[in-house]
Chain A
Amino acid sequence: MYVAVKGGEAAIRNAHQLLADRRRGDRSVPSLTLEQIAGQLSLAVDRVMAEGSLYDTGLAALAVKQARGDMIEAIFLLRAYRTTLPRFGYTRPIDTAAMLVERRISATYKDLPGGQLLGPTFDYTHRLLDPELAGDEDPAGPQSRAGADEAMPRVSDILAREGLIEEDGSLPEDREPGDITREPPEFPMQRDLRLQALSRGDEGFLLALGYSTQRGYARNHPFAGEIRIGEVEVEIDVPELDFPLTLGRIRVTECQMVNQFKGSMKVPPQFTRGYGLVFGQSERKAMAMALCDRALRATELGEDITAPAQDEEFVISHCDNVQATGFVEHLKLPHYVDFQAELGLVRQMRREYEERQAGDETGAKTGERQEAAE
């Protein structure tokens, strides 16, 4: 029989103290500052903000430090923090065409207004470890080039002029955008809710699903129509003022995926689109999101649902890494009573099985005789 017990307080307290010690590491090495983390591990901070679904570089840097660099733990910390704050309202939709662009590339058009701007990219590096970075030497400052301040229209708008690409994506005029942080998910789900879930979804999970679509599971011939990274202004309407307030700027990555589409019963042949929008400089995630967004539009476009990436309930229910880690990791918490019950059950089933086996052996000869008779 199992008797409920208390205990472990001292062990837990000491474990957390040990954690704090190990997190700090060698005391002769200076402690990391949040400015160092936000400034020099900025893409880690961006990922924590994106999947933590909270834009605040200082808090994300603190989460990375507290989590000892464990990204999902840091994301969890940020999600937990956001539940402690009141919600002031919803912003106006950001205008990515008016972005202060830090990178902008298109794989579909070589010459486009505003040009191809590589920005601070890992692309075209040789992926060789650089021993010099192990030292403290400062790199040379960046180059500058005076340039005309050219407008940078979205590539999708350029393609739209020919009428061979679908429009940006609409929902009924009177629809208030859904919010997965306020309403429990219901399937089938509207695209606005799916995009919200994908934007905070796990990069690795969405990357793998996006990859699966390229390999033939819901193949949809994608081109990176445009990727742009930069800062956009955030505006909000508040009751106390009769004009929209500017709150400041946030950095986002936007991906416009353009997909060949041979048409269906519902839709003529044209290019269709998938959309990715993610906090920070998060190019891989934005691309994966756009691939998944397109795959999840299968029903809308009249495509057969044949692959995991098209299965809305599967993708949306499993893309959140805080939910996923919560359920997987809860397995390590004490299940002593559950297990005791299971143990009793398995013992009983085993006993019954063995009894049946013993019974079958004596009954086997009778059975053989019966078969022969038939």
Chain B
Amino acid sequence: MVSRQERQAVAERRREAMAVLAAAPGEDLLDLWRDAKLPDGAATLRGPETGLVALRGRMGGGGAAFNFGEATVTRATVKLPTGEVGHAYALGREKTKVRIAAIIDALRQRPEFEAAIEEKILAPLRDRRSAADAARRAEIAATRVDFFTMVRGED
């Protein structure tokens, strides 16, 4: 019997993996996927198809929600020959990327592939993203204003 906590932990790991895949630049994901040499046989249940999501903000930043625009989103659902179903959603219109992300989501549910996916695909994507974010933060930090007070000579 799997405990509720364990189920939640599994769901959280899956959520995080799907977020990493959605954020990945298409070319990076395709390269890593090719190099990982994982089985790519999967039936497409839905898509990949592109549509819109309405984006919401909050008035004043934290108040009531409002719609402020839309974004293109592509989604796909696939099924492995062994029965696992994988989903993927990502901003943009990259159908190949999203289909592969859905296959990876399905393969992750099989214990024999989970470690390989983590090591060969998710970890490198996470590393690249945090390196890119850190570089951007450092560039922005260089534009931080350091105020200093002029000596006014009054006293």
Chain A residues with a Cβ under 8 A of chain B: 49-50, 53-56, 58-59, 82, 85-94, 96-97, 100-103, 110-111, 115-121, 142-147, 149, 154, 156-157, 167-171, 175, 177-181, 191-193, 195-196, 199-200, 233-234, 236, 238, 240-250, 252, 254, 256, 273, 275, 277-279
Chain B residues with a Cβ under 8 A of chain A: 11-12, 14-15, 18-19, 22-23, 49-73, 75, 77, 87, 89-93, 133, 135-145, 147
Most chain A CB within a 10 A radius of its CB, from B19, B55, B133: B55
Q: How far apart sit A91 and B63, CA to CA, in the bound complex (Å)? A: 16
Q: A247-B73, A256-B61 are in contact. Are A144 and B142 (CB under 8 A)?
A: yes
Q: Decide if B71 touches A100 in the complex (CB within 8 Å).
A: no
Output the least CB separation between A11 and chain B (Å). Answer: 35
- List of B residues within 8 angstroms of A192 by Cβ: 59, 64-67
Q: How far apart sit A181 and B77, CA to CA, in the bound complex (Å)? A: 28
Q: Decide if A196 touches B61 in the complex (CB within 8 Å).
A: no
Q: Which of B15, B55, B57, B89 contacts A243 (CB 8 A)?
A: B15
Q: How many cross-chain pairs have Cβ atoms below 8 Å apart between A and B?
A: 229
14 contacts between A and B (CB under 8 A): A49-B69, A54-B69, A100-B133, A100-B136, A101-B140, A115-B144, A117-B145, A156-B61, A243-B14, A245-B19, A246-B15, A247-B89, A248-B92, A279-B69
- List of A residues within 8 angstroms of B58 by Cβ: 93-94, 96, 168
Q: A245-B15, A246-B18, A250-B71 are in contact. Are A145 and B142 (CB under 8 A)?
A: yes
Q: A56-B72, A102-B140, A247-B73 are in contact. Are A111 and B147 (CB under 8 A)?
A: yes
Q: Which 9 A-B pairs have the closest CB atoms?
A: A168-B60, A168-B63, A246-B19, A169-B59, A192-B66, A169-B63, A55-B71, A248-B91, A147-B141
B139 nearest CB neighbor, chain A only: A142
Q: Decide if B141 touches A145 in the complex (CB within 8 Å).
A: yes
Q: How far apart sit A234 and B8, CA to CA, in the bound complex (Å)? A: 22
Q: Decide if B61 touches A254 in the complex (CB within 8 Å).
A: yes
- List of B residues within 8 angstroms of A252 by Cβ: 57
Given contacts A169-B64, A243-B12, 7 further A-B contacts (CB under 8 A): A88-B73, A96-B58, A117-B140, A144-B142, A147-B138, A193-B66, A233-B19
Q: How far apart sit A278 and B64, CA to CA, in the bound complex (Å)? A: 17
Q: Which of B15, B54, B61 contacts A154 (CB 8 A)?
A: B61
- List of B residues within 8 angstroms of A249 by Cβ: 23, 91
Q: Decide if B91 touches A85 in the complex (CB within 8 Å).
A: no
| Chief secondary structure at chain A's binding surface | mixed
Q: Which of A58, A233, A256 contacts B93 (CB 8 A)?
A: A58
Q: Decide if B59 touches A87 in the complex (CB within 8 Å).
A: no
- List of B residues within 8 angstroms of A115 by Cβ: 144-145
Q: How far apart sit A103 and B50, CA to CA, in the bound complex (Å)? A: 32
Output the least CB separation between A374 and chain B (Å). Answer: 68
Q: How far apart sit A180 and B66, CA to CA, in the bound complex (Å)? A: 11
Output the least CB separation between B16 and chain A (Å). Answer: 9
Q: A94-B56, A168-B63 are in contact. Are A55 and B69 (CB under 8 A)?
A: yes
- List of B residues within 8 angstroms of A240 by Cβ: 77, 87
Q: How far apart sit A82 and B72, CA to CA, in the bound complex (Å)? A: 9
Output the least CB separation between B88 and chain A (Å). Answer: 9
Q: Decide if A85 touches B52 in the complex (CB within 8 Å).
A: yes
Q: Decide if B61 touches A96 in the complex (CB within 8 Å).
A: yes
Q: Decide if A88 touches B142 in the complex (CB within 8 Å).
A: no
Output the least CB separation between A204 and chain B (Å). Answer: 19
Q: Decide if B142 touches A142 in the complex (CB within 8 Å).
A: yes
Output the least CB separation between A128 and chain B (Å). Answer: 21
